[in-house]
A and B are shown apart, each in its own frame.
Chain A
Amino acid sequence: MEAQLIDCGTAGPALNAVKSWRVGEVEIDATGMPSKELNNLLRNCMLNGTRHFLLKNICGQRYIGTRLFGLMIPLDIEIVGTPGNDLGAFLSGHRIMVHGNVQDGVGNTMDDGEITVQGRAGDVLGMSMRGGKIFVKEDVGYRTALHMKEYMDKKPVLVIGGTSQDFLGEYMAGGIVILLGLGGKPHLANYIGTGMHGGVIYLRGDLMPSQLGQEVEISPLDEEDRAILDRYVGEFLDRFPEIGMCKEEISEGNMIKISPISKRPYGKIYAY
């Protein structure tokens, strides 16, 4: 089928980067395109009816997905390349698939939606996210899931295939973080769960007690934990079938549950 140039409300060179093969779908060649221009284009396409984006040659463009608010229709955004910082910041319900690695701040204060990364992620992944899911195939950087929250039926889920750097789950107030340790690397992160006062971290592999923050404890898994793991490990494997493992193989490994000792770690330090 021949590609159609579509009216995306943008004039100038950006227009030539947009191709549409089917109604509601666009393909954008982002070579050399600044972040603001790309996000203008995405928003205009969205307002003109695009529901599926294929972004090629992405290299460092920031805030992809952030400006796609207001329509209340989930969009599909497929990215080839390496998106820049704050991918999906404040994301409200869209699905983003990245064929490549991602930088820092992915899913910052995300409200809803899903981000899948077929590679590694940088620092502060999923910071303050309150809903939606993030799946990362390989390792993640420092301060992952920092101050992640939950509210009523909104419960964010973060599944990481590899391992994490220090301060995983710092100040965490809700949500579920699963670290599968599949790459064969040991978990070397320190200060895990420092200041944590809600939510849960499941970690597959071994840990020294000294790697944990003072506000968390390790406890055995119960039925509910098993059900959570079964569900989200399954969803993770659905997204990365190339890993070639089944749920049972993964759950055979040593699973550690890390949860806060108190909902109020700092409740008693003041003189009233």
Chain B
Amino acid sequence: MRSYLFPEFQIFRDESACNQCRGCERQCAFGTHIYDPVADRMVTNEKLCSGCQRCAIFCPKNALVVRPTPPYYRPNEAWTREKIDDLKKQAETGGVLLSGCGSDKPLRIYWDNIVLNASQVTNPSIDPLREPMELRTFLGRKPDLLEIDDCGEISTELGPNITIEAPILFSAMSYGAISYQAFNSLAMAAREFGTLFNTGEGGLPRDMRAEFGRYATVQVASGRFGIDAEYLNCARAIEIKVGQGAKPGIGGHLPAEKVSSKVAATRMIPEGTDAISPAPHHDIYSIEDLSMLIYALKEATNYELPISVKVAAVHNIAAIASGIVRAGADIVAIDGMRGGTGAAPKAIRDNVGIPIELALSAVDRRLREEGVRSRCTIIAGGGIRCSSDVIKAIALGADAVYIGTAALIAMGCTLCQKCYTGKCNWGICTQDPRLAGRLDTRIASQRLVNLLTAWSHEIKEMLGGMGINAIESLRGNRDHLRGVGLYEWELDVLGVKGAGE
């Protein structure tokens, strides 16, 4: 069947600069560039281009420009180009539209409508270059009160807590979804910086357990892949994945093409089968059942690790979070609807869930009202793009944030959204050894550490400006936030005053 689709990208080649080195041909796993030996020139098939910019960045002559095609169709606000093209694609295949990365739709990004405070005259700001600033964060259950015995020792029984150097963790990305090199880079960066990476539900390769287990949050998801006593006990924390912001309410299929022998070994499933994660955990149909799994995992690790429960931000998230805390979770991780993914049905990615800012504020407020906020740590994820997003999240009630997409971009990702094809030219979201080998783990992990270091400096600057010297003092401190251009109900949910008030 002839496809009626237009190419998404145009490729301009400066023929006077191009010396037919065929670098672009080697770089592109989609087969966009082909050398024509008869004409001795490069020819391009734009229809295959994902727009990942790999060829343009690596062209030694800077001869390539790749940019989105202008809309070909008659302008139409209702039937946009994307709607028309998606429809054609489905008419041609009869399939569910897949996409990678987080939603790119213009839903309001509340971070951009919230501004921060700074000290002027009445209280001094602090210069973080000259004065100590505390970003260290503790993850886990905190006691309601601390009792000290006669010898000056703490007599209250304390739950396990984890120390991280800044309130930023790498969110769950499984080995299988991303390459071993990308996975390893996250682990190396977590170790160097002093934070945690998250295995997702793809298991933790045995050769990494001794070295990186102490920097890992290991996931237990509905597929229960790669789980045994050693996997659970080598880690620093365990996360029960109930939902994910990019695809709340549905499971996942890692296609057989991505289940290489090493991925199969890590997940402990036969090579070449689809790794299917069911939509729900079939042993969790209620808060009581969730509690049962939380305590099963505490039992399986001798009560030495904090247990996190990750859910997607959806309607009634505050009540859900309250249930999770009461079920015994030490950490509640909430993933907003702009959270990334290796593959999700586009209809779900773009339409299901709620933005993290609203969810986070609602959860923090509800847990405070119910007097259970200190029983858990809140981690917010799904659309954290920069240090100011982090600091706003903390002021809205998060203890720490998860970054996924930001970490991938630091390693080279350009958000071309073709993760599900397994042909990532940047070596991140692929199991093809030739492509994955492009990602140098030393360089990638250095880029990740640089990112965390830069954000930490910026967070300290902003904290100092507010006259605060410890991140702990900003937690849930909405007085330092004001809304701009928001409706009354939005300000209410955020618990934030309008600017000028």
Considering the chains assembled together, what is the distance between the CA atoms of A149 and B271 in angstroms? Answer: 12
A111 and chain B: residue at smallest CB distance: B228
CA distance A108 to B299 in the complex (A): 13
Selected contact of B299 from candidates A66, A147, A171, CB within 8 Å: A66
| Residues of chain A with a CB closer than 8 A to B95's CB | 268-272
Task: With CB as the reference atom, state the residue of chain B lying closest to A123.
Answer: B283
Residues of B within 8 A of A269 (CB): 95-96
Q: Quick one: given A143-B282, A271-B97, are A69 and B270 in contact (CB under 8 Å)?
A: no
Cα–Cα, bound, A173→B269 (Å): 8
Does A50 sit within 8 A of B, measured CB to CB? no
Taking the complex as formed, is A79 at the interface, i.e. its CB lies under 8 A from any CB of chain B?
Answer: no
**Is A247 an interface position by the 8 A CB rule?**
no
Name B60-102 residues within 8 Å CB distance of A.
89-90, 92-98
When A69-B300, A85-B292, A151-B264 are in contact, do A271 and B273 touch as well, CB less than 8 Å?
no
Map CB proximity to B onto A50-81 as digits: 1 under 8 Å, 0 otherwise. Answer: 00000000000011001101100000000000
Interface size classification for chain B: 35 or more
Q: Hey, what's the 0/1 contact readout for B231-259 against A, CB within 8 Å counting as 1?
A: 01100000000000000000001011000
Question: Can you list, as one digit per residue, whether each of B93-121 has a CB less than 8 Å from chain A (1) or not (0)?
Answer: 11111100000000000000000000000
Chain-B contact segment, one of A16-24, A86-94, A157-165? A86-94
Q: Enumerate chain A residues within 8 angstroms of B282, measured Cβ to Cβ.
A: 124, 127, 143, 146-147, 170-171
Instruction: Give the CA-CA distance A85 to B285 in the complex, in Å.
Output: 14
The total of Cβ contacts below 8 Å across the A-B interface reads 131
Across the interface, do A62 and B295 meet the contact criterion of CB distance under 8 Å? yes
Q: Is the CB of A92 within 8 A of B98?
A: no
Could you say which residues of chain A place their CB within 8 Å of the CB of B274?
197, 263-267
Enumerate chain B residues within 8 angstroms of A35, measured Cβ to Cβ. Answer: 295
Quick check: is B296 within 8 A (CB to CB) of the other chain? Answer: yes
In the complex with contacts A43-B302, A267-B274, A272-B420, A70-B233 CB distance below 8 A: yes
B223 CB contacts on chain A under 8 angstroms: 128, 147
A79 to B120, CA, bound (A): 70
The answer to whether A105 and B283 have CB atoms under 8 Å apart is yes
Q: Are A127 and B283 in contact (CB under 8 A)?
A: yes
| Chain A residues, CB < 8 A from B300 | 63, 66-67, 69, 89-90
Question: Which residues in chain A, 114-167, are within 8 Å of chain B measured between CB atoms?
Answer: 124, 127-128, 130, 143, 146-147, 149-151, 154
For the complex, what is the distance from the CA of A39 to the CA of B299, rounded to whole Å? Answer: 8
Task: Specify which of B227, B256, B421 is in contact with A263 (CB 8 Å cutoff).
Answer: B256
Does chain B have a CB within 8 A of A174? Answer: yes
The answer on a CB contact under 8 Å between B270 and A198 is yes
Interface residues of B in 258-287 (CB under 8 A from A): 264-265, 268-270, 272-274, 276, 278, 282-283
Chain B 392-443 interface residues, beta-carbon cutoff 8 Å to A: 420-421
Given known A70-B229, A70-B233, A271-B90, contact A147–B292 (CB-CB < 8 A) = no
**B 32-75 to A, binary, CB cutoff 8 A, 1 in contact else 0:** 00000000000000000000000000000000000000000000
Indicate which residue in A85, A90, A146, A150 contacts B270 across the interface (CB closer than 8 Å): A150
B224 proximity list for chain A (CB < 8 A): 109, 127-128, 147, 149
Kindly report which residue of chain B lies nearest to residue A104, judged by CB atoms: B283
Instruction: Establish whether residues B299 and A173, one from each chain, have CB atoms under 8 Å apart when the complex forms.
Output: no
Within 8 A of A (CB), among B288-308: 292, 295-296, 299-300, 302
For B233, give its contact among A69, A127, A154, A173 (CB under 8 Å). A69
Q: Could you say which interface size class chain A belongs to? A: 35 or more
Bound-complex Cα distance A212 to B268 (A)? 27
Q: Is A195 an interface residue (CB 8 A)?
A: yes
Q: How far is the CA of A36 from the CA of B299 in the complex (A)?
A: 8
In this complex, what residue of A is CB-closest to B257? A267
Interchain CA distance A170-B276 in the complex, whole Å? 12
**Across the two chains, which residue of chain A brings its CB closest to B302?**
A67
Complex Cα gap A149–B277 (Å): 12
Of B89, B98, B300, B420, which is in contact with the most chain A CB atoms at under 10 Å from its CB?
B300
Closest residue of chain B to A105 (Cβ to Cβ) is B283
Q: Which residues of A contact B265 (CB under 8 A)?
A: 151
Contact (Cβ within 8 A) A198 B278: no
Complex Cα spacing A247 to B420, Å:
50
Once bound together, how far apart are the Cα atoms of A89 and B294, in whole Å?
12
With A70-B229, A154-B268, A197-B273 given, can you name 11 additional A-B contacts, CB distance below 8 Å? Answer: A62-B299, A63-B299, A69-B229, A89-B296, A105-B292, A151-B265, A173-B276, A197-B274, A265-B274, A266-B276, A267-B274
- Ordered nearest first, which 7 A-B pairs have the shortest CB separation? A271-B95, A69-B229, A128-B224, A151-B268, A271-B93, A63-B299, A66-B299
User: What is the interface of chain A, defined by CB distance below 8 A to chain B?
Assistant: 35-36, 39, 43, 62-63, 66-67, 69-70, 85-86, 89-90, 92, 104-105, 108-109, 111, 124, 127-128, 130, 143, 146-147, 149-151, 154, 170-171, 173-174, 195, 197-198, 263-272
16 contacts between A and B (CB under 8 A): A39-B299, A67-B299, A85-B292, A89-B299, A127-B283, A146-B282, A174-B269, A198-B270, A266-B253, A267-B256, A269-B95, A270-B96, A271-B92, A271-B95, A272-B93, A272-B421
